[in-house]
């Protein structure tokens, strides 16, 4: 009984920490790249506005990095505390990317420190900009490496189990597992996409709040272009992720598509909800679509939930998570497309308040998609921590103080979340772009 409770609270605490960390981590992966883009444009076009954009984004970025770092440190240690059995096993096989991730952080941390304090030290602005390259590479590679670990949990390979002992460990084979290509690229692309929409949302919000400065319009166009590119990329890679699932984790695909019977020419279930367990209501059925999604062939056979033991089927609510993610992906893509086209054709609807509010919503929406995507991926792997090898309930700690720790961490995340929001709003409210531009002119720059 006690150990069941420990599992329950360990899950809760893991979910909480990861869901909180991923907000800051996603921003941390994407924003350095966008800052780089802005600074590069600024130097190329000799346009003060882009430089200022880079400067202001950096200032906000430091705050999110700080929270990303502390929550990341928390999750890194917590995985050992809450899932000791899992980490012992994982340590043998998948420690390499985890280890390399710390190097990526290290690299990023050093150059971020330098970048922040050297805005006015170089006569040649381009040198300063180059300092961002290691920051962006470090940030993106920390996502790449940690996602490799997560991919391994979904498609473990690179070792053999003999009498409970791990033998013939091949770290590189474990790293480059079948889940890795789609997972890593989807995570990185969605991080860029989300960061772009979050920044676009801020720009649109300033415009709504009465600022009419060309600065915000430039920001909006830049970020929405990036957002469009990466939302298209995310959708394409997401499709490949579905094909990966069909081949290697059919139970996850079947559960997220509510595909109960194995069949050929399978149709795709959109929306809907589940009544009395297995009855789907109010859904839209698209003929052949699931076969196409899973195998790229309308006649292909798609494995259904009937092929799996009752206790190896993931919770069916992941269907909702999948739909949320995909719908948000579509909505944000359309918003970005409309803005860019409307802007190019000089249409006035792009200045419309309603449309601006839509752009504002794209930031939080993409973040929701990130959360939904991760919950889909992780809950869809249940009941396994390491698919097919280690069940979640056998991996958790046996310590019985997890519930207290959960309370502490809830408190901590509340404080961190609130404080970061307060600090960020104050930072930009007290120092609007208009004033900063004036100050710069006065200082003769």
Partner 1 sequence: MSYEIIGIVVLWLFLFGYIIVASIDFGAGFFHAYSVLTNKHHIISKIVQRYLSPVWEVTNVFLVFFFVGIVGFFPSTAYYYGTVLLVPASLSLILLAIRGSYYAFTTYGKLRSKFWTYLYGFSGLFIPASLSIVLTISEGGFVEEDNNELSLQYATLFASPLTWSIVILSLTSVLYISAVFLTWYANKAKDQPATDLLRKYALIWAGPAIITATGIIIELRTHNPVHFQRMLDLWWMFAISGILFITTVYLIWQKRSYGLAFFLLTGQFFIAFYAYGISHYPYLLYPYLTIDEGFTSEGMAIALIIAFIAGFCLLIPSLWLLLRLFLFNKDYVEGKIK
In the region spanning residues 85 to 144, those forming contacts with ligand HDD, defined by CB under 6 A, are none
Q: How far is the CB of 231 from ligand HDD (least distance, A)?
A: 6
∠ Cα 32 33 37 (to 5°): 115
d(CA 20, CA 22): 6
- Give the pair of three-digit tokens for residue 113: 């420190």
Q: How far is the CB of 112 from ligand HEM (least distance, A)?
A: 7
Supply 63's token pair. Answer: 């705050």
Contact 125, 145 (CB under 8 A): no
Give the residue, chosen from 10, 71, 142, 154, that forms a contact with ligand HDD under the rule CB under 6 A. 154
- Which CB, 53 or 256, lies closer to ligand HDD? 256
Q: Which stretch binds ligand HEM (CB under 6 A): 25-33, 41-49, 216-224, 303-311?
A: 25-33
Q: 293-296: long-range contacts at Cβ-Cβ below 8 A with a sequence spacing of 24 or more?
A: 293/239, 293/242, 293/243, 293/246, 293/268, 294/242, 294/243, 294/245, 294/246, 294/253, 294/266, 295/243, 295/246, 296/243
Closest CB to partner 1 among 67 and 335?
A: 67
99 binds, among ligand HEM, ligand HDD, partner 1, none (CB under 5 to 8 A by kind): partner 1
| 226 makes contact with ligand HEM (CB under 6 A) | no
Q: Would you list the DSSP string of 252-302?
A: HHHHHHT--S-EESPPEEEEEEEETTTEEEEEEEETTHHHHHHHS-TT-EE
Establish if 142 lies at the interface with ligand HEM (CB under 6 A): yes
Between 370 and 399, how does the x/- string for binding to ligand HDD read (CB under 6 A)?
x--xx-xx--x-------------------
* Interface with ligand HDD, residue 207, by CB under 6 A: no
Check residue 387 and report its DSSP letter. T
Task: Return the range that interacts with ligand HDD (CB under 6 A); candidates 232-240, 257-265, 306-314, 390-398.
Answer: 232-240
Work out whether 369 is an interface residue with ligand HDD (CB under 6 A): yes
Closest CA relative to residue 198, chosen from 368, 439, 84: 368
What is the Cα–Cα distance from 254 to 157, expressed in whole angstroms?
A: 23
Note whether 303 binds ligand HEM by CB under 6 A.
no
Binding partner of 171, given ligand HDD, partner 1, ligand HEM, none, CB within 5-8 angstroms per partner class: partner 1
| Alpha carbons 329 and 365: distance in angstroms, whole number | 9
Binding site for ligand HEM (CB under 6 A): 11, 14-15, 18-19, 21-22, 25-26, 28-29, 65, 68-69, 72-73, 75-76, 79, 83, 86, 105, 108-109, 139, 142-143, 146-147, 149-150, 153, 187, 191, 374-375, 378-379, 382, 385, 392
């Amino acid at each position: 009984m006690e150990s069941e409770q420990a599992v329950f609270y360990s899950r809760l605490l893991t979910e909480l920490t990861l869901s909180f960390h991923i907000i800051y981590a996603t921003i941390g992966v994407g924003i350095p790249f966008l800052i780089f883009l802005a600074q590069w444009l600024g130097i190329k076009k000799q346009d003060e506005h882009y430089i200022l954009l880079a400067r202001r984004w950096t200032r906000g970025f430091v705050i999110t990095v700080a929270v990303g770092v502390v929550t990341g440190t928390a999750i890194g240690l917590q995985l050992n505390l809450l899932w000791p059995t899992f980490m012992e096993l994982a340590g043998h096989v998948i420690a390499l990317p985890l280890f390399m991730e710390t190097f990526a952080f290290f690299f990023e941390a050093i150059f971020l420190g330098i970048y922040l304090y050297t805005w006015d030290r170089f006569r040649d602005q381009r040198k300063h900009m180059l300092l961002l390259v290691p920051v962006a590479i470090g940030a993106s590679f920390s996502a790449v490496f940690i996602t490799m670990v997560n991919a391994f949990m979904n498609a473990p390979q690179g070792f053999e189990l003999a009498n409970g002992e791990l033998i013939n460990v091949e770290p590189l084979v474990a790293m480059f597992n079948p889940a890795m290509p789609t997972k890593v690229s989807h995570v990185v692309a969605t991080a860029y996409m989300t960061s772009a929409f979050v920044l676009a949302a801020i720009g649109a919000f300033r415009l709504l709040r009465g600022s009419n400065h060309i600065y915000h319009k430039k920001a909006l166009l830049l970020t929405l272009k990036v957002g469009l590119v990466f939302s298209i990329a995310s959708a394409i890679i997401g499709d490949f992720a579905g094909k990966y699932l069909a081949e290697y984790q059919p139970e996850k695909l079947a559960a997220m598509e509510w595909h109960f019977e194995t069949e050929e020419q399978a149709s795709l279930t959109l929306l809907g909800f589940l009544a009395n367990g297995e009855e789907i209501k109010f859904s839209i059925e698209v003929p052949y679509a699931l076969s196409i999604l899973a195998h790229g062939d309308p006649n292909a056979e798609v494995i259904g939930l009937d092929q799996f033991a009752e206790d190896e089927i993931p919770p069916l609510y992941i269907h909702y998570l999948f739909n949320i993610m995909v719908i948000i992906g579509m909505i944000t893509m359309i918003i970005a497309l409309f803005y860019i086209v409307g802007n190019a054709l000089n249409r006035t609807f792009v200045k419309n308040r309603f449309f601006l509010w839509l752009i504002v919503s794209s930031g939080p929406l993409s973040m929701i998609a990130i959360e939904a995507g991760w919950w889909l991926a992780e809950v869809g792997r249940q009941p396994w921590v390491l698919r097919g090898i280690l069940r979640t309930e056998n991996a958790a700690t046996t310590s019985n103080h997890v519930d207290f720790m959960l309370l502490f961490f809830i408190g901590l995340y509340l404080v961190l979340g609130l404080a970061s929001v307060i600090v960020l709003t104050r930072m930009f409210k007290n120092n609007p772009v208009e004033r900063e531009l004036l100050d710069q002119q006065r200082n003769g720059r």
